[in-house]
C-alpha cells in the first residue's frame, strides 16, 4: 500500500471512528456492506485450450464496508486478486484497499473526498463505474461537490485521478455538470404531467506530453495536446408515457493509440424516443459517433482507462447462444440504430388465449460512418499519424456493416403450471471489426425456454437452444435443466456443444444454496473461450475447467 493511500485511509478510519462515538438517537449510524468471492480450482484441459496454473486455486474476492448517517457517510473496499481468475492475470494481480471515501451531506450541498463514481448525462463525456465481470473500475480519486441551490437545479463539480488497476493514470480529470428541471419551476407543466430537463457538461483531461514520446517518423516527434476538452448538451422531454431525449457531445483534438494519433475533433449525437403504457411499449433511437474514444492515458488499449462510455444500442442477451457473438462499441465511429416493440395480448382473446401472451421484437443495426482520407497527410490513401486523418459526411454511411440482429420473443402460459418462452434471432456479426479477424458471421438462433411449477415450492425450468451458421466454428447446441426448491436450493446442469468444427462439449453443473443474505454456489465444468460483454464493452475470457465456488453476502 503506497504512502498516499495509507494516509488517506488513516484519515478516513479516524474520522469514521470519531463520528461513530458521537452517535445520538437523532443521528444514528448504520453499517452495511457485502462480500463477494469467486473461486476456481483449475484443471488442465488441452482439448479446450485450458492451461495448467501454478496456483491450486484462483480467486477474485471483494469486501465492501459502508457507514451511513444523517450527515456523514464513509466506506471502503478490500480487494484480493493475488491469484486472479482466468482473464485477470496481467494487470489485475494484487491486493489492497483501492477504494475508500468519506462524504458530508448537508441541506443543499454534498461533498465527497476519496474515490467516487459519477456520470454526466448518458455518459458520452464522463462515466465512472464498476463492472467486476469485465474487470472495469474507473473510479476517480479526488473531490466531488453536488450542490442544489434551488428546486430544479443540480450542479456538480469534480476533479481527480482515474484508477487504472492498482495505480492511477498519469493525468488529471476535472468536470462540471448542470441540470435544470423546468417542470419544478412552472405549475402549468406539472398540471399537464410534463417534465422538461436541460443539461450541460464540461470535462477536461490534463495529461503531460512528457509521459509519451510519439514520433511521426525518425526525426519528427508529435506535439501532443496537454489539455483535451469535452462538452455535452442534452434536452429531455417527458409527457405521460412519452419520453424524448436529444444529446450532443464534442471533444477537442485527442491523438491516441485508438485513433492512430490523428488530430481530429470528435463528436457524438443521439436521439431517442420511447412510449410506454400498460400492455404496450416501443423504443426507437439512433446514435452517430465519430472519433470519440476518450481515455485518461492516450497510449492505452483494451477496456481500461476510459473516461466515457458509448452505449452499444444492441440488446444485452442472457441466453447462452444468443450471447455467443456479442457486439462491442466501435470507438472510431459508427451509426447505431435500435427499435423495440412490446405488446401484451389480453387474456381470453383469440391470440392471448386463456392466460394472455407477451410479444417483444427488437431490431439493432450498426454501420460504419463515412471515412474519406484527407488528400493532405495521407499515405497511399490511408490516414497517417500526425494528420487530421479523414473527412466524414454526417449522414453518409461507410461501406461496412458492423452488426445487425432482429429477434422475436413470445412468452405464453399454456396451463396454470406451465409457461413457455420462444425466441428467434437472425444475426450478422462482423468478427473482423469486433475481434480483428474472422469475417462476417451470419447465424440463425432458435430458443425454447419452459418453466413447470411442480408445487408451490418446486419449479423445473429447461432451455433448448440451437445456433445455425456456415461461418466461424459452425453450429452450436445448448441444453439446460434447473430445479428450484424454495427457499434454499437450486440444482443446474447444462451442456454447450459445438456440432460444427470442434465437436467439443462444455458441460457444467451447479448446486446453489440461499439462506437469508447468504448465497453459496458450488460447481464443476468447462467454460469456453469467448467474450463477456455488457453495454457494448467486452472482455476476452480464456477457456477454463475445474471446480468453482461462489459466495455472496449482503448486510
Which pLDDT score is estimated for 26? Answer: 56
Q: Of 458, 461, 499, which Cα lies nearest the Cα of 478? A: 499
Which pLDDT score is estimated for 375? Answer: 57
Q: Are 201 and 176 in contact (CB under 8 A)?
A: yes
Q: How many CA atoms lie within 13 A of 492 on its CB side?
A: 18
Three cell numbers, residue 354: 386463456
Q: pTM here?
A: 0.90
Which pLDDT score is estimated for 24? Answer: 44
**Spatial separation of the C-alpha atoms in residues 264 and 253, rounded to whole Å:** 5
Q: Are 101 and 114 in contact (CB under 8 A)?
A: yes
The region, left, alpha or beta by phi > 0 then psi within -120 to 50, assigned to residue 184 is alpha
Q: Is the link from the previous residue into 142 a cis peptide, with omega within 30 of 0?
A: no
User: In a structure prediction context, what are the per-residue pLDDT tens digits for the chain, which is 555 residues long?
Assistant: 444 544 554 444 444 444 444 444 456 899 999 999 999 999 999 999 988 898 999 999 999 999 999 999 999 999 999 999 998 978 899 999 999 999 999 999 999 999 999 999 999 999 999 999 989 999 999 999 999 999 999 999 999 999 999 999 999 999 999 999 999 999 999 989 999 999 999 999 999 877 777 887 777 888 899 999 999 999 999 999 999 999 999 999 999 999 999 999 999 999 999 999 999 999 999 999 999 999 999 999 888 899 999 998 999 899 999 999 999 899 899 999 999 999 999 998 989 889 999 999 999 999 999 998 875 554 444 567 778 889 999 999 999 999 999 999 999 999 999 999 999 999 999 999 988 889 999 999 999 999 999 999 999 999 999 999 999 999 999 999 999 999 999 999 999 999 999 999 999 999 999 999 999 999 999 999 988 888 888 888 899 999 999 999 999
Largest CA distance in the chain: 79
Helix, strand or coil for residue 116? strand
Q: Of 362, 223, 358, 389, which Cα lies nearest the Cα of 293? A: 389
State the SS3 of 23-85.
CECCECCEEEEEEEEEEEEECCECCCCECCCCCCCEEEEEEEEEEECCCEEEEEEEEEECCCC
Q: Are 7 and 46 in contact (CB under 8 A)?
A: no
Beta pairing, strands 136-137 & 476-485: unpaired
Q: Of 397, 378, 396, 398, which Cα lies nearest the Cα of 388? A: 378
Dihedral sign (CA 524, 525, 530, 533): negative
Bridge partner residues of 177 (DSSP): 156, 201
Which pLDDT score is estimated for 301? Answer: 87
Helix, strand or coil for residue 280? strand
Amino acid at each position: 500500500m503506497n504512502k498516499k493511500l495509507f494516509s488517506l485511509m488513516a484519515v478516513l478510519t479516524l474520522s469514521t471512528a470519531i463520528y461513530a462515538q458521537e452517535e445520538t438517537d437523532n443521528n444514528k449510524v448504520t453499517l452495511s456492506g457485502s462480500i463477494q468471492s469467486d473461486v476456481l480450482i483449475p484443471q488442465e484441459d488441452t482439448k479446450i485450450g485450458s492451461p495448467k496454473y501454478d496456483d491450486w486455486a484462483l480467486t477474485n474476492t471483494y469486501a465492501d464496508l459502508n457507514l451511513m448517517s444523517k450527515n456523514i457517510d464513509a466506506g471502503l473496499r478490500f480487494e484480493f486478486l493475488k491469484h486472479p481468475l482466468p482473464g485477470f492475470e496481467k494487470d489485475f494481480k494484487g491486493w489492497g484497499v483501492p477504494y475508500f471515501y468519506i462524504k458530508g451531506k448537508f441541506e443543499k450541498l454534498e461533498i465527497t473526498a476519496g474515490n467516487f463514481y459519477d456520470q454526466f448525462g448518458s455518459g458520452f463525456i464522463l462515466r465512472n463505474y464498476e463492472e467486476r465481470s469485465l474487470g472495469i473500475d474507473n473510479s476517480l480519486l479526488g473531490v466531488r461537490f453536488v450542490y442544489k441551490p434551488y428546486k430544479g437545479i443540480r450542479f456538480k463539480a469534480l476533479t481527480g485521478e482515474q484508477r487504472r488497476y492498482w495505480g492511477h493514470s498519469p493525468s488529471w480529470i476535472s468536470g462540471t455538470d448542470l441540470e435544470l428541471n423546468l417542470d419544478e419551476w412552472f405549475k402549468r407543466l406539472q398540471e399537464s404531467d410534463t417534465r422538461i430537463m436541460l443539461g450541460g457538461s464540461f470535462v477536461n483531461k490534463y495529461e503531460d506530453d512528457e509521459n509519451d514520446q510519439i514520433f511521426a517518423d525518425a526525426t519528427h516527434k508529435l506535439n501532443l495536446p496537454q489539455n483535451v476538452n469535452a462538452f455535452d448538451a442534452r434536452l429531455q422531454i417527458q409527457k405521460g408515457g412519452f419520453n424524448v431525449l436529444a444529446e450532443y457531445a464534442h471533444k477537442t483534438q485527442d491523438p491516441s493509440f485508438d485513433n492512430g494519433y490523428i488530430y481530429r475533433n470528435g463528436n457524438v449525437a443521439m436521439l431517442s424516443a420511447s412510449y410506454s403504457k400498460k400492455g404496450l411499449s416501443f423504443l426507437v433511437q439512433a446514435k452517430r459517433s465519430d472519433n470519440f474514444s476518450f481515455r485518461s492515458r492516450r497510449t492505452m488499449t483494451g477496456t481500461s482507462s476510459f473516461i466515457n462510455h458509448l452505449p452499444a444500442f444492441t440488446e444485452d442477451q442472457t441466453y447462452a447462444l444468443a450471447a455467443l457473438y456479442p457486439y462491442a462499441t466501435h470507438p472510431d465511429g459508427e451509426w447505431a440504430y435500435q427499435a423495440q416493440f412490446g405488446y401484451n395480448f389480453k387474456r381470453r382473446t383469440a391470440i392471448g388465449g386463456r392466460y394472455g401472451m407477451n410479444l417483444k421484437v427488437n431490431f439493432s443495426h450498426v454501420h460504419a460512418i463515412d471515412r474519406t482520407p484527407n488528400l493532405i497527410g495521407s499515405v497511399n490513401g490511408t490516414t497517417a499519424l500526425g494528420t487530421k486523418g479523414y473527412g466524414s459526411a454526417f449522414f453518409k454511411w461507410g461501406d461496412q456493416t458492423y452488426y445487425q440482429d432482429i429477434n422475436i420473443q413470445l412468452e405464453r402460459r399454456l396451463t396454470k403450471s406451465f409457461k413457455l418462452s420462444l425466441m428467434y434471432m437472425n444475426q450478422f456479426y462482423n468478427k473482423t471489426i469486433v475481434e480483428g479477424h474472422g469475417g462476417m458471421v451470419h447465424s440463425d438462433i432458435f430458443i425454447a425456454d419452459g418453466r413447470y411449477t411442480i408445487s408451490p415450492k418446486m419449479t423445473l425450468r429447461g432451455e433448448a437452444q440451437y445456433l445455425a451458421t456456415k461461418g466461424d466454428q459452425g453450429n452450436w447446441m445448448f441444453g439446460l435443466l434447473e430445479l428450484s426448491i424454495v427457499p434454499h436450493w437450486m440444482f443446474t446442469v447444462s451442456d454447450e456443444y459445438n456440432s460444427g468444427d470442434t465437436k467439443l462439449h462444455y458441460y457444467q453443473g451447479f448446486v446453489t444454496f440461499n439462506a437469508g443474505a447468504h448465497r453459496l454456489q458450488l460447481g464443476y465444468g468447462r467454460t469456453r473461450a469467448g467474450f463477456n460483454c455488457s453495454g457494448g464493452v467486452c472482455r476476452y475470457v480464456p477457456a477454463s475447467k475445474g471446480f468453482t465456488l461462489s459466495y455472496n453476502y449482503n448486510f
